[in-house]
Amino acid sequence: MIPDSVKTAVLFILVIAVGYLLFDSYQFQQKNQAELSKLSSQVLVMQNLDKASEAKILGLKEELTGTQKAVGSAKEELKKTTQQTQAAIHSETQKTKAELNQAISSKADSAQVQAQVQAAKTEAETRIGQVSTEVGGVKTEVGAVKTDLANTKRDLEGTQRQLVDVRETLTAAVAKNSGELAELRRKGERDYFEFEVPKKNQLTKVEDIRLMLKGTDPKKGKYTLQIIVDDNKLEKKDRAINEPIQFLVGRNRLRYEVVVNWVQKDKLGGYLSIPKDKALGAERPAK
């Protein structure tokens, strides 16, 4: 028979062990929640950066359009000035010839004829010099416009590179096959539901959303998909496989994500990703 003191000691040890396990489980849960909150914040920051980059690209494109119009106007002005210069030179030449012929025909003395010819020549050269100066000014303006255009192009290329970096970061958590999807599931941050849309223009229910395939292009890996959620229809045209499609669902504004992994003729398949923690996954509406 086991003594009461031994039973008491064993019971005490068991109580301590259970308490330690409960405390360790609580700490593990708190750590997971903190990690989920941190990841949600990082995703929101990257999405804001994506929107800012797209706005900057739009502004740069508008500047580029304005610069191209300015270059076109400068070219038209240069063409007009050149035509005017040629017309002025022709007119002055004809005038000089007429005056010379008139002087010769009137039998004026050679000194007077030479003076008239020299005066006409000097006046013509002066006018040609003025026109050449104006043409040089227009060329300088065109050169400045070309420099501004080159700077704008470099800025646009830099912004596009930044946008590519942001998109690559956002798609790092996308599973391209069943093995990668299993890795995401093991992280335990979100729930993943695989689906297949077997027919075009047919509703397929996936959890609390519905999908309708509108068209596919297997050679290019493209598709058009309609997502029906909260009585709204979101049509995503010409999307590529493994490209995440994100949207907000419900009053809590939970961020859902649809990823299509393969496309065939009039059918496709992929998965739906939903936040596990509805409180941490909720997003505040933009002000």
Q: Does 46 lie in the same domain as 138? A: yes
- Helix axis angle, 110-170 relative to 4-105, nearest 10°? 170
> Residues 223-257: pLDDT tens digits?
999 999 998 999 999 999 999 999 999 988 999 99
Q: Considering the domain boundaries, does residue 140 fall inside one?
A: yes
| Residues 215, 142 share a domain | no
Tell whether 109 and 242 lie within a shared domain. Answer: no
Q: Are residues 27 and 78 in the same domain?
A: yes
Residue 59 located in a structural domain:
yes
Are the C-beta atoms of 85 and 139 separated by less than 8 Å?
no
Answer whether residue 223 is part of any domain.
yes
Residue 203 maps to a domain: yes
Residue 227 sits in a domain of what CATH number?
Answer: 2.60.98
Residues 11 and 153 in one domain: yes
Percent of the chain with pLDDT over 90: 29
Residue 158 structural domain: 1-173
Whole-structure pTM over 0.95, yes or no? Answer: no
One domain for residues 14 and 152: yes
User: 47 and 102 in one domain?
Assistant: yes
Q: Are residues 166 and 267 in the same domain?
A: no
Last residue within a domain, chosen from 150, 173, 196: 173
Most confident among 3-7, 166-170, 183-187 (mean pLDDT): 183-187
Q: Tens digits of per-residue pLDDT, 92-138?
A: 778 867 876 776 566 555 566 467 758 867 886 887 678 567 757 74
In this structure, are 168 and 182 located in the same domain? no
**Could you tell me if 27 and 112 lie in one domain?**
yes
Q: Where are the beta strands (DSSP E) in the chain?
A: 190-197, 203-206, 209-217, 222-229, 232-240, 245-249, 254-264, 267-275
CB 220 within 8 A of CB 236: no
- Structural domain contains residue 286: no
Separation CA 36–CA 70 (nearest Å): 51
pLDDT at 60 over 80: no
Average pLDDT value for residue range 25-30: 82
Indicate which CATH number applies to the domain containing 101.
1.10.287
166 and 189 housed in the same domain: no
Q: Exposed, middle or buried, 272 (CB in 10 Å: 0-12/13-18/19+)?
A: buried
Domain count, the chain: 2
How much is the pLDDT for 100?
62
Q: Does 43 lie in the same domain as 143? A: yes
